[in-house]
Structure 1
Amino acid sequence: MRNVSFIRAVQLVSLSAVFSILTPLSILAEDKEMGQFIDNLMNKMTLEEKIGQLNLASGNTAAAILSGGESLVDEIKSGLIGATGGSSFEAIKKMQEASQQSRLKIPLLIGLDVIHGYHTVFPIPLALSCTWDVDLIEESARIAAREASAIGVNWTYSPMVDISRDPRWGRVSEGGGEDPWWGSQVATAMVRGYQGDDLKKSNTIMACVKHFALYGASEAGRDYNTVDMSRQQMLNDYLPPYRAAFDAGAGSAMSSFNLVDGIPATGNHWLMTDLLRRQWGWNGFVVTDFNAINEMVAHGIGDSLRVAELALKAGIDMDMQSEAFITYLKSSLDSGHITETDINQACRRVLEAKYKLGLFDDPYRYINEKRAATELLTGEHLAFARKIAARSMILLKNENNLLPLKKEGKIAVVGPFANDRGNLLGAWVMKRDKSKMASVTEGIRAVGGNRVEVVTAKGANITDDPYLLASLNSPFAMYMGEAIEQESRTPRQLLDEALQVSADADVIVAVLGESAAMSGEASSRSDISIPESQQNLLRALTATGKPVVLLLLNGRPLTLPWESEHVPAILEAWAPGTASGYAIADVLFGDYNPSGRLTMTFPRSVGQIPLYYNYKNTGRPFHAQNKFTSKYLDVPNEPLYPFGYGLSYTTFDYGDVHLDKTELQGSQDMLMASVNVTNTGNCEGEEVVQLYITDPIARISRPVKELKGCQKIFLCPGETRKVTFSITVNDLKYYDTDGHYDWDGGEFFIQIGANSAAVKSAGCVWNR
């Protein structure tokens, strides 16, 4: 794996600075050529056509087209729609054909939520981040782009780079976890994967960075809720992944639903113009989230006309679904509340995106019937899906080396997801193609071989809670996942069958967790434990005295205090995607030694939330012997499983941290920190070596530690490798309360270890 400390240093250089010094003449010529083309086109456009380019008709547009939606076709022909959504080859082709019947033949952007794969579904993004492998993450986005572009999609509403410290928020499943540094690496990898090295290639798609900004900090973990924080916290903790994605060349961004400094992001001029365009120098276009302009009315800042004006003047270029721009902008222009320059600026950015995608050269470059028939769910893609799914799983507990399982004897696979396929795909899956999938039971049978006898039972419903069940079976929830069918048998009958099936098994694999619709958008939970119906099953299975492996399928960190204490082995599999059954079996049997590591903290209780590793100390840090320090009466402060945590089927030993010098001088100096890591177990395996830095004395209170680098290494039994990190002052910088980005001279602690709670430390002094 590349030295990501160096990558971060590169990313911190602003694009404007790079362009002013290093921009090749070919790029400048291309920009000039694009500018001239857009100028000529806009000189021919009417006001109505310009406003039409700002209109994204989303929702069920493909279904409307295929069912004879001539009004939508007519709007496209009239130049009143600049972009649509689509997941059907036939519908996309028909819509793009309609665009070529418009007066100026301006092609459409075709957007879709390609979040973690398209036909070939990869693990949810949170799980992808747990691979700690940017090359694999980038390749997953590359394959997703190849598949989606084959049916005509040229724009994806991804990556979601929102940092979140609250697992109650369902959309943590779509992001890279809680850490701004690692989130930045993931964001960069996803953008590169989608966009490749040339957006005009027909197998690339334009990325849309979302949700700009701060959406992951919604109060109480409730979707669409208020966000309120200081500028210093924004800049240090929440904004870095967005910046990294933009610096990686992302072509578009999506505004978030929440408030930023008391103003909805969609109408926030400081966010969309002052910060994004003037300070960061980014030149892509911004689209709203679904109906976000109209929803600003409920925030109490104006009526429909007023919020449309606010959005445009703030820096929004395209309106998704609300039709506020095409409804109100002409009258706002007539009344003088906006200018034609405002409209032209937004229109230009949208047209530039189409130019960069090569759509003016060939509106049909992304519509290829041959590719649509041959590039979806290929053997190569399925093999990669199996590989990355296995590498995203995390071994949380393995008492007495219960895992890996032996490929012999009798295994009982029990639980509501034991024979399920659809829920293994997770939320935000546009094509739930299960034709090449295997359930967990099927995967264990296939990988285990003919010496393994597999028996199975459902054992419990996903939930017996009528309120939760009604929520999960609502129309939108079923759009995100699948309907939950309750058994006609009683819970007692289901449990009795599971106990009977397991009676003479050598080991029980309990397949429990969340359905696909229990995480993702609009899927916040106040209780993030395993549903009670499944807990009852697990308690009964452990009471048999047989060894039990808890296989977790879920989209967020869960509270697992009882499970962690009473179940001997726990494997976190998340929602692993199309290759779920086989990849899970690969890990259970040890064909692959798990190497995933948590990118989001697992709390003991929801009462600890928000809980994250890079917290700031109080004036009264915890002390066991002093009541009047920061702690709870009923649970420890520490999480159940910390950030960066994960076990292996082998063991690793870390030597002391060695620094090549203990005193450094000035901003040009560099520190080399190294540690010897030894595989002390009996099998080969991968370890994620993590670098953290502590700044104990600074201008503002700093986190107790911050992740600044990682390397994933492979070691054979008995092998030792020296792992070295290069550290520069860029790794020490932060934003102070005045918005200055700088570093403090003084003492620093360099920490290297297996996770955020298990590090070895060495100190140095770095003088300015």
Structure 2
Amino acid sequence: MRFHPGAKRRIVAATLATLATSSHAQAQPQSPAQQRAAKLVSQMTLEEKAAQIQHRAPAIARLGIPGFNYWNEGLHGVARAGEATVFPQVIGMAASWNPQLIQEVADTTATEFRAKYLSKRRPDGSIAGGPGLTVWSPNVNIFRDPRWGRGQETWGEDPVLTARMGAAFIRGLQGSNPEFPKTVAAVKHFAVHSGPEPDRHQFDVHPSARDVVDTYLPAFHTAVTEAKAQAVMCAYNKVDGIPACANEHYLKDILRTQWKFDGHVVSDCAAIADIHMANKHGYVKTPEEAAAISIKAGTDLFCSSGNKDTADPAITVNAVKQGLVAEALLDQAVRRLMEARVRLGLLDEPGQGPFAAIAAKDFDTPAHRALSTRAARESMVLLKNDGLLPLKKAPGRILVVGPNANSVDSLVGNYNGTPSQPITVFAGIKARFAQSKVSFVEGTGWVGPPLENIPDSAFCLDAACTQPGIKAEEFKGTRLAGTPSALRSDPNARVAWGTPTREERAASTRWTGYLRPADSGAHSFRYSGESGYRIWVDDKLVADVWDIAWPTSDTDIELKAGQVYKIRVEAMQKGARGDHRLQWSQPGSSDALALKAAQDADVVVFVAGLTARFEGEAMSVKAPGFAGGDRTTLDLPAPQQKLLESLHASGKPVVLVLMNGSAMSVNWADKHLPAIVEAWYPGGEGGQAVAELLAGDFSPAGRLPVTFYKSAEQLPPFADYSMKNRTYRYFGGEPLYPFGYGLSYTSFAYGKPTLGKAAVKAGDGVELSVDVRNSGKLDGDEVVQLYVSRTAEGAPIRALKAFQRVHLKAGESRKVSFKLDAQALSVVDAKGTRVVPAGTATLWIGGGQPGGVKQAAGVSAKIAVSGTKVLKAY
């Protein structure tokens, strides 16, 4: 077995510390949950214990333990479990800068988890296809580079903002009583993890000591020590040569020993198999070694994601019998898991405990959807406004254009639930401006012509079109091999698996039949989904993207209205998103239609951006600007940019509404358009919030949780994990829109700050306050941000240390107070030591960062620090 340099020394030290900690723990009185868990584990056989560390834990009937699936997602509402309240994607909620709101959102999400659990619970306590109460959220990884596809799941690029919002989310999910949590939150992905997505199963990160302490770990520390997260998920990648889920330095030395974490650690899915697979990490040679090294490091639960080797409990049994891991360590892992289930009440009859009042119907309620709408309002960021907004008088004619204008996908982001009453931007504008004539033309797709589902009426089983439908042959496996497992007639070339089973994720289908289009002209075809497909029309191959999810070179084909054409579609299913269907772009659904409609409009609202089908987790998408779920450019996709410029050239005022999960380099739009709104993926009711913002029903107060760069060329290579020249704290160039930035329909003024002390000794804290006044004519929220700058080698240019979102009526003033501790005045040196240096600390209190062309209102102050002092790292 290989060890990173210094690992043996750390392991010895950690072992001694663990022994000391264990002896101390044994001397303490155990909680009822710990006692009950220990008793259950003591009655299990080795084989039963090995099965219990799989995320699909089987029942042990003789002990009264029901089967349980630990895998549940809840980033912004209950995900992958049917209809639920869909809140704005996490990056959007981060833009609210409102921890109180986030805790309320998470508490509501936990209520819906409880309700869904009750609705799916069988009499024996197992769950029938529904969610449990262990929630694998929040994601507190730092969004260090805007090209990362999963950045949408995070709270942004700043450690303090991420820590405060993540902690609020954990408190909401779990509640205030750790012995009776509402749900168990699993904070992820520990610890240094943020892409690139295509390389995550092989990638080795070597962060500097400074970056680990100052950037990558603070939010995890807050989640564990302050918010008391009861679970942690370890990441896929290696850190300093050791796979994250087998990394004793992070899981044992830091998490268990230093931070006193006593919950359970779950692997990211398939991460244990990665440890031994030769085409992944290949860190050890056998599945038994992978299981053993993970358990010894402190990973308690294996999410296997279909990898049969590590998903087989026999592997763990073999590891114990071969002497690779002590059975006592397996016992410890199972005890931690049983403790979580006992505390959640999963081993008891429902209707007991502090959450007995929650009923199975308490999800997707009007009150919950209203909270989602409120969260969407608070997340909206006004990036530019030359006075066009708000639309004080309803325009006579409003044209809504763009691929995200009438798209549900663009509302929900990834790791999402299903909104029962989605309100797209087009629908929201049409409802809010009922007195206006509101029309919609898609105009362009995201990266090509606009696509729509082919209607059932276009398909025939025979060349004469006497029978509707299309022949379907379904196969096991992804290669259309062997005898079909199913043969049937479908109304269309589509599948609706919802969340596919493990077997369905390795399936393929061939549809054959005939197609009769309703319009003449050029058509292009696509099979929606995230796995490969091929399409033939009259034996001509018009789409061959068997290994790519989004086509880059599909061939247009001329079709005549009413003529019958042979069609064949072959598609595979490998991923977790199972709702797929055949689509086409038709003649006339292009830029020209939108430009013609714009001639009659008074205002054009162009709803542009991305969806989670382009940016996301380990995707096979390959289209201009995208690779594997990550982005290769920050620009608006070329077809959208082209139509946007053409609409502007028409002379009509154009409002650009962006819907996306990462920064966009909209330089041209910033220069030429009168108004730009960042709406993110705003949740199920997000279209209503966008419409209300345009109308001026509220003053926007969202602030950017990430830097919007002018170009990806301003950044270091994506795979470089050094923070040098990354994020607002270290970026030396000029951004398009800075972190913390956002406009309002009103204005704010800041008085002279009052300091408790103008001079402090190193290690002391300081209190300060400032009067903030709404100097405009409209009520609104201000996000008061406090930044600190210290002069020291390697120190950030400035760093956010505190913030408050406050509501002020027009003309109202309020004193906003902050308490800065010693850590807020500290820096981290190259060795990873946190030090308060002597010298001047420069403070800025305002509605954004100081300096630059987009500086917000604010005031500065200085504190003299005498002496130096070394502090704890976190």
Query: What's the TM-score, normalizing by structure 2?
Result: 0.73
Question: How much has 1:660 moved relative to structure 2?
Answer: 4.0
More off after superposition, 351-360 vs 148-157: 351-360
> Which of 418, 426, 438 is residue 432 of structure 1 equivalent to?
418
Taking the aligned partners of 1:552 and 1:311, their CA distance within structure 2 comes to: 43
Question: How much has 1:214 moved relative to structure 2?
Answer: 1.1
> Which of 291, 294, 302 is residue 308 of structure 1 equivalent to?
291
Matched, 1:135 2:234: no
The Cα offsets for residues 443-480 of structure 1, whole Å up to 9 and x where unpaired, read as 1121123x222111111122229879952489789855
The Cα offsets for residues 668-717 of structure 1, whole Å up to 9 and x where unpaired, read as 4x4233333333332121111100111113xx521111100111122233
Matched, 1:279 2:258: yes
Question: How much has 1:264 moved relative to structure 2?
Answer: 1.0
> Which of 320, 342, 359 is residue 329 of structure 2 equivalent to?
342
Cα distance change of structure 1 residues 194 and 600 upon mapping to structure 2, 3 Å threshold: same
The Cα offsets for residues 43-84 of structure 1, whole Å up to 9 and x where unpaired, read as 211111111111113xxxxxxxxxxxxxxxxxxxxxxx25xx
In 2, are the aligned partners of 1:165 and 1:610 still within 8 Å (CA)? no
Taking the aligned partners of 1:586 and 1:509, their CA distance within structure 2 comes to: 13
Taking the aligned partners of 1:496 and 1:200, their CA distance within structure 2 comes to: 62
Q: Secondary structure at the match of 1:111?
A: coil
Q: Secondary structure at the match of 1:400?
A: coil
Matched, 1:123 2:88: yes
Taking the aligned partners of 2:597 and 2:547, their CA distance within structure 1 comes to: 27
> Which of 627, 638, 651 is residue 747 of structure 2 equivalent to?
651
Q: Secondary structure at the match of 1:677?
A: strand
Taking the aligned partners of 2:321 and 2:794, their CA distance within structure 1 comes to: 51
The residue type equivalent to 2:821 in the other structure is T
Matched, 1:638 2:716: no
Question: How much has 1:114 moved relative to structure 2?
Answer: 1.4
Aligned residues: 679
The Cα offsets for residues 83-139 of structure 1, whole Å up to 9 and x where unpaired, read as xxxxxxxxxxxxxxxx36355535535431111012000000011011000011111
Question: How much has 1:569 moved relative to structure 2?
Answer: 0.6
Question: How much has 1:205 moved relative to structure 2?
Answer: 1.1
Please list every run of 5 or more consecutive structure 2 residues that lacks an aligned counterpart in the other structure. 1-26, 79-83, 118-131, 450-542, 552-570, 619-628, 868-874
Cα distance change of structure 1 residues 364 and 485 upon mapping to structure 2, 3 Å threshold: farther
The residue type equivalent to 2:39 in the other structure is N
1:659-738 counterparts in 2 under 5 A? Answer: 659-665=755-761, 667-668=763-764, 670-697=765-792, 700-738=793-831
Taking the aligned partners of 1:677 and 1:372, their CA distance within structure 2 comes to: 44
Matched, 1:234 2:212: yes
Question: How much has 1:198 moved relative to structure 2?
Answer: 3.3
Matched, 1:447 2:426: no
Cα distance change of structure 1 residues 147 and 219 upon mapping to structure 2, 3 Å threshold: closer
In 1, are the aligned partners of 2:395 and 2:602 still within 8 Å (CA)? no
Query: What's the TM-score, normalizing by structure 1?
Result: 0.82
| Counterpart for residue 209 of structure 1 | 187
Question: How much has 1:359 moved relative to structure 2?
Answer: 2.4
1:425-504 counterparts in 2 under 5 A? Answer: 425-429=412-416, 431-433=417-419, 435-449=420-434, 451-464=435-448, 470-472=548-550, 479=576, 487-490=584-587, 493-504=589-600
The residue type equivalent to 2:322 in the other structure is S
Taking the aligned partners of 2:44 and 2:583, their CA distance within structure 1 comes to: 57
| Counterpart for residue 41 of structure 1 | 40
The residue type equivalent to 1:190 in the other structure is F
Cα distance change of structure 1 residues 219 and 384 upon mapping to structure 2, 3 Å threshold: closer
In 1, are the aligned partners of 2:95 and 2:705 still within 8 Å (CA)? yes
Question: How much has 1:373 moved relative to structure 2?
Answer: 4.9
Question: How much has 1:483 moved relative to structure 2?
Answer: 5.6
Cα distance change of structure 1 residues 685 and 174 upon mapping to structure 2, 3 Å threshold: same
The residue type equivalent to 1:319 in the other structure is F
In 2, are the aligned partners of 1:481 and 1:515 still within 8 Å (CA)? no
In 2, are the aligned partners of 1:673 and 1:750 still within 8 Å (CA)? no
In 2, are the aligned partners of 1:166 and 1:610 still within 8 Å (CA)? no
Q: Secondary structure at the match of 1:131?
A: coil
Matched, 1:178 2:162: no
| Counterpart for residue 143 of structure 2 | 164
Question: How much has 1:603 moved relative to structure 2?
Answer: 0.9
Question: How much has 1:199 moved relative to structure 2?
Answer: 5.8
Cα distance change of structure 1 residues 566 and 214 upon mapping to structure 2, 3 Å threshold: same
Taking the aligned partners of 1:661 and 1:242, their CA distance within structure 2 comes to: 31
In 1, are the aligned partners of 2:444 and 2:590 still within 8 Å (CA)? yes
Identity %: 35
Cα distance change of structure 1 residues 413 and 134 upon mapping to structure 2, 3 Å threshold: same
The Cα offsets for residues 730-751 of structure 1, whole Å up to 9 and x where unpaired, read as 3223544444444223321111
Question: How much has 1:615 moved relative to structure 2?
Answer: 6.8
| Counterpart for residue 281 of structure 2 | 299
Q: Secondary structure at the match of 1:688?
A: strand
Larger radius of gyration: 2
Q: Secondary structure at the match of 2:608?
A: strand
Taking the aligned partners of 1:541 and 1:573, their CA distance within structure 2 comes to: 20
1:162-561 counterparts in 2 under 5 A? Answer: 162-198=141-177, 204-216=182-194, 218=195, 224=201, 225-247=203-225, 248-296=227-275, 297=277, 298-303=280-285, 304-321=287-304, 322=307, 323-324=309-310, 326-362=313-349, 373-404=360-391, 406-429=393-416, 431-433=417-419, 435-449=420-434, 451-464=435-448, 470-472=548-550, 479=576, 487-490=584-587, 493-522=589-618, 523-561=629-667
In 2, are the aligned partners of 1:506 and 1:547 still within 8 Å (CA)? yes
Taking the aligned partners of 1:392 and 1:481, their CA distance within structure 2 comes to: 30
In 1, are the aligned partners of 2:180 and 2:343 still within 8 Å (CA)? no
In 2, are the aligned partners of 1:168 and 1:221 still within 8 Å (CA)? no
Taking the aligned partners of 1:481 and 1:555, their CA distance within structure 2 comes to: 22
Question: How much has 1:241 moved relative to structure 2?
Answer: 0.8
Please list every run of 5 or more consecutive structure 1 residues that lacks an aligned counterpart in the other structure. 1-26, 58-80, 83-98, 623-629, 632-636
Taking the aligned partners of 1:478 and 1:542, their CA distance within structure 2 comes to: 40
The residue type equivalent to 2:746 in the other structure is T
Q: Secondary structure at the match of 1:351?
A: helix
Cα distance change of structure 1 residues 399 and 478 upon mapping to structure 2, 3 Å threshold: farther
* Between structures 1 and 2, the one with greater strand share: 2
* Between structures 1 and 2, the one with greater helix share: 1
Question: How much has 1:558 moved relative to structure 2?
Answer: 1.3
Taking the aligned partners of 2:371 and 2:825, their CA distance within structure 1 comes to: 37
Taking the aligned partners of 2:34 and 2:816, their CA distance within structure 1 comes to: 48
| Counterpart for residue 23 of structure 1 | none
Question: How much has 1:169 moved relative to structure 2?
Answer: 0.6
Question: How much has 1:761 moved relative to structure 2?
Answer: 2.4
Question: How much has 1:481 moved relative to structure 2?
Answer: 9.4
More off after superposition, 262-271 vs 104-113: 104-113
The residue type equivalent to 1:557 in the other structure is A
Question: How much has 1:724 moved relative to structure 2?
Answer: 2.7
Q: Secondary structure at the match of 1:151?
A: helix
Taking the aligned partners of 2:693 and 2:156, their CA distance within structure 1 comes to: 23
More off after superposition, 527-536 vs 107-116: 107-116
> Which of 568, 582, 595 is residue 674 of structure 2 equivalent to?
568
The residue type equivalent to 1:132 in the other structure is W
Cα distance change of structure 1 residues 464 and 558 upon mapping to structure 2, 3 Å threshold: same
The residue type equivalent to 1:126 in the other structure is I
In 2, are the aligned partners of 1:561 and 1:640 still within 8 Å (CA)? yes
The Cα offsets for residues 488-526 of structure 1, whole Å up to 9 and x where unpaired, read as 325x75211111222121110001111232222122111
In 1, are the aligned partners of 2:55 and 2:71 still within 8 Å (CA)? no
